[in-house]
Amino acid sequence: MEKHESHHEHSHGYSIYILVWLALMALTAITVAVAGMNIGRFTVATALVIAGFKAYLVLTIFMHLRSETKTFVVFVIVALLFLGISFVLLFSDYSFH
């Protein structure tokens, strides 16, 4: 029986990985700097927004999510949606205790 395999060629070189790594390091430094500031309840929200952007960079560049099939992308989005719902429920429960 004949196997049909599809391999996607990734057209970007090492320079994009270096740029994304530098962006991740810069965003980590910003997260640490924001943690040291006294901006009240926006500290956690800012850290979560930065972490979400960092996760987006890792998913699209390092894990090659852009070149995956649409079905796989839907599975990842559903998993992230359930993770987001879990965080909302966790923080809403935590804020009322």
Q: Tell me which of 33 and 9 has the higher pLDDT.
A: 33
pTM as predicted: 0.66
- Per-residue pLDDT at 95 exceeds 90: no
Domain positions in the chain: 13-63, 67-97
> Is the Cα dihedral 91, 92, 93, 95 positive or negative?
positive
3-state secondary structure labels for all residues of 46-84 = HHHHHHHHHHHHHHHHHCCHHHCCHHHHHHHHHHHHHHH
Which pLDDT score, from 0 to 100, does residue 4 have? 46
The pLDDT score that the predictor gives to residue 57 is 92
The predicted-structure confidence for 26-56, as pLDDT tens digits, reads as follows 999 999 999 888 888 888 889 989 999 999 8
